[in-house]
Amino acid sequence: MTNVAAHAASCTNVAFVNTLMPQPAKIATAPGCLTLDNTFSVSIAAYRDARLDAATERMLNRLSRLAAVPHHLAIQSGTSADLVIDVKGQGSVVPSLDDDESYVLNVTNDHARLEANTVVGAMRGMETFLQLVQANGGSGFAVPGVEIHDQPRFRWRGLMIDTGRHFEPVSVIERTLDGMAAVKLNVFHWHLTEDQGFRIESRRFPKLTGMGSDGLYYTQEQAREVIAYAAARGIRVVPEFDMPGHTTSWLVGYPELGSAPGPYEVQRTFGVHDAAFDPTRESTYKFLDEFIEEMADLFPDAYMHLGGDESNGKQWRANPEIERFMKEHNIATTQALQTYFSQRVEKLLEQHHKHMVGWDEVLQPNLPKDVVVQSWRGTHYLADAARQGNQGILSAPYYLDHMDSAAQVYLADPLPGGEQLTAEQANLVLGGELCMWGEHVVPRTIDSRIWPRAAAIAERFWSPASVNDVNDMYRRLGVMSLRLEAVGLTHISGPEAGLRQLAGSEDDGALRTLASVVQPVDFGQRYREQRTSQLTPMNLLVDSVRPDPPMRHELEMLVEGFLADSSHKKNRDELMAIFHQWVAAGPGLEAIANRSPLLADARPRAAELSVLGRMGLDAVSSLSAGKRRPAGWASRSLETLTRDKNHNGLVDFVVLGPLEKLVGAAGKVR
């Protein structure tokens, strides 16, 4: 029997289970499937370069781990292989906004063929090919027959990481880039300067890091390494140097740039600080011209982000020279003075062949049309920018530190609904960016704050707007979460390690039960309760639980199914098992809390969990048997649930909504 015939014979009964994320633009199933075994081979049929070879090698390495396919054969040339990669040309040498990321993937019984116009398009198709791999019964792995025509809906699909408030080492950045590539995100927005730290080496102005970084910064060699690592995965790197506010770390070494005389110190506290560049001095622009020239040489992307957010103008109003300048130039407000500053620095960027990106505070009537507006305060700023003729990026719904569920961010579309944009204006919306601000994340915790929710947002940026089934998204997100762990992300293992440290033991089952039903409070609530600073240890329960844990949606689905048919044994039994586990966790949680001072704030949540478990058991029992609960039970239970909605121990319960539905239904049994 030939190899092709063997493949066909062993694959006839494999059904396609769609777990792709993001969903392709067009997908159709086809007969048969392609077996993955020790004879599996790959060839590159047409254009070939080092970047394509490296991407193919990475795919084969992951395929080896995923499906036990031995990686021992060299990548072939020609068209006689199990997977043929046919690329027309290189595409952009430097990843760009205009990269063609489209691809076509066909899988049949005898082979798979991936076609793309560019190397980046081929990379996107390789990720889809890896996601198609599924078990072939008990006899190995296969790729089901499909025909996929795919391309992104938006050109700018980004993730911003703030490394100014808490420094993140290169290893964190690079594993993040691997995760981004897996879900087809294509812009890494690197927030490099903040009041709390200046994080990129400047050889022209060495005091920026020498005095403003606490020794925590990226050398230019490390930056080049990150840029190359990203480019190899088809990801752009857009640096951000925030100005004129959020600039304390600049002013520690160069106080002459400031609007007040100083001296300045690196800030440890968070929030909006008064420090700001003096926009009226020519020396400020001379300094920035030289700095931008140096950074333009380091970062090859055509875009550079210059911040522009949260400059409160207090230092400007307190400076008589700046007040005099404003009067002489008919500048009535500090907002207008910031526009003057934005116009000046935009010209500097233009001289160095860069396009400016700024937060939506830069949006003023006379903003140059070349400036890209990043909307963080609301979707209407994005719409206003488009009406004004400026391109824009939406970030307002995608602030990961708000701890919104994957469902909430998934349904937030980059094109503002109800804004009545023309087709031409809508075309100015380039896409969106997730934002991971750094106040409350450190290397051990950052992955769990980004992933897997980022995969749901990545689908919103890539897939057609009609792909919006939340339940199906969660079904696929559970699978995608494990794939992301396989590429090196620690969003699962990091919190688990934190729980073991809190418990002081590997026997942390009770604590894991509590962690499965709570999530961190949002940034603002934690800051208000704990008054966090850059020096605050991130080692409490809040730092070892995940936003939108799987139990939240799982319980919603179980309760919905049970209430639709309370005689359904499977749903009933699963609910009873969950609630019994909550009750049983009580003694273990008490024992762990007694030996772990770091869990002191979480004690109330531990006690409440057993109460919630008993409440759930009572409700399910009542509904299953059709027996009413004692008088007043429902009202007391609902009061408890209302009380448990209050923030406590820096974590919030995520299971109260389904419990309310159960209690409400049980309270109606007569």
- Which amino acids are annotated catalytic? 310
Is the C-alpha dihedral spanning 326, 248, 246, 241 positive or negative?
Answer: positive
| Rounded Cα–Cα distance for residues 5 and 56 (Å) | 26
Q: What does the block give as tokens for 360? A: 């939506």
Cα-based distances in Å from 34 to 16, 464, 480? 12, 28, 22
| Rounded Cα–Cα distance for residues 514 and 136 (Å) | 37
Q: For tokens 């309370």, what's the residue?
A: 566
| Rounded Cα–Cα distance for residues 71 and 585 (Å) | 45
Task: Tally the residues of the chain.
Answer: 670
Q: Which amino acid makes up residue 159?
A: L
Contact 226, 276 (CB under 8 A): no
Residue-wise DSSP of 452-494: THHHHHHHHHHS-TT---HHHHHHHHHHHHHHHHHTT--TTHH
Exposed / middle / buried, residue 494 (Cβ in 10 Å: 0-12, 13-18, 19+): buried
* Residue of 143, 131, 139 lying closest to 40 (CA atoms): 143
Q: For tokens 């089901």, what's the residue?
A: 144
Q: What does the block give as tokens for 406? A: 């994957």
* Residue of 211, 276, 167, 271 lying closest to 533 (CA atoms): 271
| Rounded Cα–Cα distance for residues 475 and 486 (Å) | 18
Phi, psi of 294 (to 5 degrees): -65, -45
| Rounded Cα–Cα distance for residues 168 and 163 (Å) | 6
| Rounded Cα–Cα distance for residues 428 and 551 (Å) | 39
Peptide bond into 206 cis (omega under 30): no
| Rounded Cα–Cα distance for residues 508 and 501 (Å) | 9
User: What b/e sequence results for 450-459 when a residue is b if at least 16 CB atoms lie within 10 Å of its CB, and e otherwise?
Assistant: bbbbbbbbbb
| Rounded Cα–Cα distance for residues 542 and 651 (Å) | 6
Question: At 68, is the secondary structure helix, strand, or coil?
Answer: coil
Ranges of beta strands (E only) in 230-363 are 236-243, 303-307, 355-359
CA 225 to chain centre: 22
User: What b/e sequence results for 317-339 when a residue is b if at least 16 CB atoms lie within 10 Å of its CB, and e otherwise?
Assistant: eebeebeebbeeeebeebeebbb
Is the C-alpha dihedral spanning 661, 663, 669, 670 positive or negative?
Answer: negative
User: What b/e sequence results for 112-149 when a residue is b if at least 16 CB atoms lie within 10 Å of its CB, and e otherwise?
Assistant: bbbbbbbbbbbbbbbbbbbbbbbebeeebbbbbbbebe
Residue-wise DSSP of 381-446: HHHHHHHTT--EEE-GGGBGGG---HHHHHT--SS-TTS---HHHHTTEEEEEEEE-STT--TTTH
